[in-house]
Amino acid sequence: MFTSSRSRFGRIVLPILCLGCVVEGSAQPPRTQGWMAGVHSGAAAVSFGGDPSDGAALVGARIGHGLNPVVAPYVGVAYAAIDTRGLEAFDSVTFGYVDLGVRLHLARGPRRWVPYGDLALTLWPVTDVIEKDERAADFRSMPILGVGGGLLIYLSESRALDVNVKWGQGTFEDVPAGDVPAHGAHGRPAAPLDVDAASVRLAVGISWWW
């Protein structure tokens, strides 16, 4: 469903993984505790009503704080413009991701590779809806639970390449009815729809601690 996104992501990730293989080990355990920030880019794809969308570029940033070597709450934001195929009324939907989440680091000790789990309550604020090259009415989404994981490849004690994948499923509310006439049989506006949506994000970035 997300073949084009996976292909672009693969061309980014494979060289980075190879780089991680040749980085020498360290006697010092990598940092996962304390203040942390990160930036990333990659690809995103969203299915609307069960139909796939085209993949789109994704950019974002994150800041958090490791309470201990394992648990690290964070706040993250990201942006993507998706060309839709599942919503007949619109050509593209531009929206953001706002994540209120926590990472659970799964490795301890002097290791360069640190896998982690990622849980987040995600908001999808819609910023722009395009229909026939013109801006159309916006709509909103309910908060969703996002799940995922990733791998930190440490370049130093406090700096790491960050490979992440995240999936979430939710609902966009009050979506205009598309091909339904603007007014019903009695001259009343057609009822808006609630459209189920699923999102996959693949990203590579850099994270650092202080």
Residue spans per domain, the chain: 3-21+44-177+193-209
| pLDDT at res. 52 | 67
Dihedral (CA of 146, 147, 152, 157) sign: positive
Contact predicate 201/166, CB 8 Å: yes
Other beta carbons within 10 Å of 119:
16
Q: What element of type H or E holds 210? A: none
User: What CATH number belongs to 3-21+44-177+193-209?
Assistant: 2.40.160.20
Q: Digits of tens for pLDDT over the chain (210 positions)?
A: 545 555 555 555 555 555 444 444 445 678 899 999 999 999 988 877 766 666 788 999 999 999 999 999 999 999 887 766 555 555 666 778 899 999 999 977 677 899 999 999 998 876 666 555 555 555 666 778 889 999 999 999 899 999 999 998 877 776 665 543 344 445 455 566 677 778 899 999 999 999
| pLDDT at res. 96 | 82
The whole-angstrom separation of Cα 134 and Cα 150 is 38
- End-to-end, the C-alpha distance of the chain in Å comes to 39
Joined together, the tokens standing for residue 106 give 């799964």
Question: Side chain identity at 105, as an amino acid letter?
Answer: H
The whole-angstrom separation of Cα 143 and Cα 117 is 20
| pLDDT at res. 80 | 84
DSSP-assigned letters across all residues of 73-128: EEEEEEEEEEE-SS-TT-SEEEEEEEEEEEEEE---SS-SEEEEEEEEEEE--EEE
Q: What element of type H or E holds 15? A: helix 3-22
Let me know if 40 is exposed, middle or buried by CB neighbors in 10 A (0-12, 13-18, 19+): buried
CA dihedral 32, 150, 118, 114 (to 10 degrees): -30
Contact predicate 62/38, CB 8 Å: yes
The whole-angstrom separation of Cα 166 and Cα 149 is 7
